[in-house]
Amino acid sequence: MQQRRPLLLLSIVMFFVMSGFGIIIPVLPFLAEEVGATPLELGLLMAVYSLMQLLFSPMWGQLSDRYGRKPVLLIGITGLSLSFFLFSAAETLMMLFIARLLGGALSAAAMPTVMAYAADVTTPDERGKAMGAIGAATGLGFICGPAIGGMFSQTNLQLPFAIAGALSAATALFVWFVLPESMRQPAAIRSTSRQPLGEMMRSPFLYLYLLQWTATLALAGLEATFAYFADRRAGLGSVELGYIFMVMGIASAFVQGALLGRLIKRFGEGRVLQGGLVVSALGFASILLVQDFWTAALFLSIFGIGNGVIRPCVSSLITKQAAGRQGRAAGLLSSFDSLGRIIGPIIGGGLFSYMAGLPYLFGIVLCLVGAGLYGLFAARSQARRLLP
């Protein structure tokens, strides 16, 4: 039976963690500019965070398998809080890079541990619904955070970072005192978590890791270019774009939190995942037809709904077959996710410089590649009897 209270507490934790992270999103470029960063240095400042996540997520996931979810989650949230406070005190570009590197390395412990925790407290039948609930909480945090950051940045650019640091510190205290440990038999789990990383990469699940990479690659390319595209096609500014992304986030969170569990129960993760890829491709295609605020909000929401169900389904499929190694599997998935966030903006920006619609045509291709990767996973899994 699903342990609903721990899952609810975990969703609350992720909401506040991502709210704190979202607070700094609209402010970081202006703070970097204030200390003298060039556009290239700002790009590097954004990229090093994902690079640290890429490098450290598997390590933290493996440590959570060995020593428990709660202590590793505490490290991740405390590290995030520390990095925010360093940002609030930064007066030089070097301090910003130190804060960003530290935050990326330590906060890499959070997401894989959360995914592994959700796997610990759910049955396989409830796994997809749980991953959707975590995704919904994450999305809602990203919706609320930027609004708070933008509001308080009008007073002082350092103030939003101090608020984010305090919020993360309070969340760490919540984890310490309220969230129970999900691993009841750490010794037994530790003894079953010896599968080499290379063996995991050679399994059929490699196709799912690559699928997640292509999905994130497509999303990151869109995020990096849509503001320019919307300005050229419909004359939309930053305020309108903020509302558009908010609508997209709400639509995605609603589907993840309210509908995904029912869809998976009826159709299974595989079919829902394939449906998400189809809807994402339709979203990319419709974005090419943007004419005004309303069409932009509608078409971006279509994409957001499709893309939003992909990771919960992938996480569910992977953790179901990673008994005793959920942390390591989730950490590896986070690394592929981070790799997409590093490369995606570069590819998207390069394609946009040739033709405004190219990033979205490329997104359609990536969705088709993702569908092919799932087909390969399903074929190999059935051969090895990993799927019914």
Query: Is residue 307 a contact partner of residue 314, using CB atoms and an 8 Å limit?
Result: no
pLDDT of residue 1: 42
What is the per-residue pLDDT across 295-308, written as a single tens digit (0 to 9) for each? 999 999 999 999 99
Exposed / middle / buried, residue 219 (Cβ in 10 Å: 0-12, 13-18, 19+):
buried
In this predicted model, what pLDDT tens digit does every residue of 25-43 receive, in sequence order? 778 878 888 888 887 787 7
Query: Token pair of 64, please?
Result: 């959570």
Q: How many CB atoms lie within 10 A of CB 95?
A: 14
Cα atoms in the 13 Å half-sphere on the side-chain side of 93 = 16
Q: CA-CA distance, 266 to 227, in Å (whole number)?
A: 37
**Residue-level pLDDT at 188:** 43
Answer for the pair 268, 127: CB distance below 8 angstroms, yes or no.
no
Asked if pLDDT for residue 175 goes beyond 90, the answer is yes
pLDDT bracket for residue 192 (50, 70, 90): very low
228 pLDDT above the threshold of 70: yes
Q: Which fold has domain 1-178?
A: Growth Hormone; Chain: A; (1.20.1250)
pLDDT tens digits along 317-355: 988 877 667 888 889 999 999 999 899 888 988 899 889
More confident position, 325 or 285: 285
Tokens of 168: 């993360």
Q: What is the chain's mean pLDDT, rounded?
A: 87
**CA 312, CA 315: separation in Å to the nearest integer?**
5
Q: What is the pLDDT of residues 241-278, one digit of tens each?
A: 878 888 888 999 999 988 999 999 999 999 999 999 99
| Ranges of CATH 1.20.1250.20 domains, the chain | 1-178, 195-388
Which CATH superfamily includes the segment(s) 195-388?
A: MFS general substrate transporter like domains (1.20.1250.20)
Kindly tell me if the per-residue pLDDT of 196 is higher than 80.
no
